[in-house]
Amino acid sequence: MLKPVFWNNTKRYYDLKSFWYNRFGCKVYKLQIDAGFTCPNRDGTVSSGGCIYCDGRGSRLRQAGPLPSVSEQIRRGKEYYKTHRNAGKFIAYFQTFTNTYGPTEKLRALYDEALGEDDVIGLSVGTRPDCVPDDIIDLFQEYAKHSHAWLELGLQTIHNRTLRYINRGYSVETYFDAVRRASGKNIHICTHIIVGLPGETREDMLETARVIATLPIHGIKIHLLLALRGTKMGDLYEQGEILLLEKDDYIRVVCDILEILPPEMVIQRLTADGYRDIFLAPRWAINKMEVLNGIDRELEKRNTFQGIRFEKV
Ligand code: SF4
Average pLDDT, the chain: 96
- Separation of CA 210 from chain center: 18
Half-sphere exposure of 113 (CA within 13 A, CB side): 18
Q: Which of 104-118, 193-207, 269-283 has the lowest mean pLDDT?
A: 269-283
Q: Quickly state the pLDDT bin for 25 (edges 50, 70, 90).
A: very high
Question: What pLDDT sits at residue 274?
Answer: 66
Ligand 1 pocket, residue 51 CB under 6 Å: yes
Question: What pLDDT sits at residue 77?
Answer: 96
Q: Is 3.40.190.170 the CATH classification of the domain at 5-54+65-302?
A: no
pLDDT at 22 > cutoff 90: yes
**Mean pLDDT to the nearest integer, 126-153:** 98
**Mean pLDDT to the nearest integer, 107-126:** 98
Cα-to-centroid distance, 157 and ligand 1 (Å): 14
Q: Quickly state the pLDDT bin for 116 (edges 50, 70, 90).
A: very high
Q: Quickly state the pLDDT bin for 1 (edges 50, 70, 90).
A: confident
**Mean pLDDT to the nearest integer, 110-127:** 98
* Ligand 1 atom, smallest distance to 55 CA: 8
Q: Around Cβ 292, how many Cβ atoms within 10 Å? A: 15
Cα-to-centroid distance, 118 and ligand 1 (Å): 31
Domain range summary for the chain, segments of one domain joined by +: 5-54+65-302
Question: What pLDDT sits at residue 95?
Answer: 97
How far is residue 266's CA from residue 216's CA, in Å, rounded to a whole number?
Answer: 12
Cα-to-centroid distance, 284 and ligand 1 (Å): 24
Question: What pLDDT sits at residue 230?
Answer: 94
Question: What pLDDT sits at residue 215?
Answer: 98
Q: Which of 135-144, 150-159, 247-256, 267-276 has the lowest mean pLDDT?
A: 267-276
Q: What is the DSSP string of the chain?
A: -PPPGGG-SSSSS-BHHHHHHHHHSS-EEEEEE------TTTSSSS-SS--TT------HHHHTSSPPPHHHHHHHHHHHHHHHH---EEEEEE-SS-TT-S-HHHHHHHHHHHHTSTTEEEEEEEE-GGG--HHHHHHHHHHHHHSEEEEEEEEE-S-HHHHHHTT-SS-HHHHHHHHHHHTTTT-EEEEEEEES-TT--HHHHHHHHHHHHTS---EEEEEE--EETTSHHHHHHHTT------HHHHHHHHHHHHHHS-TTSEEEESS----GGGEEE-GGGG-HHHHHHHHHHHHHHHT--TTTT----
Residue 219 phi, psi dihedral angles, 5° rounding: -150, 165
pLDDT digits (tens, 9 = 90+) for 283-307: 999 999 999 999 999 999 999 999 9
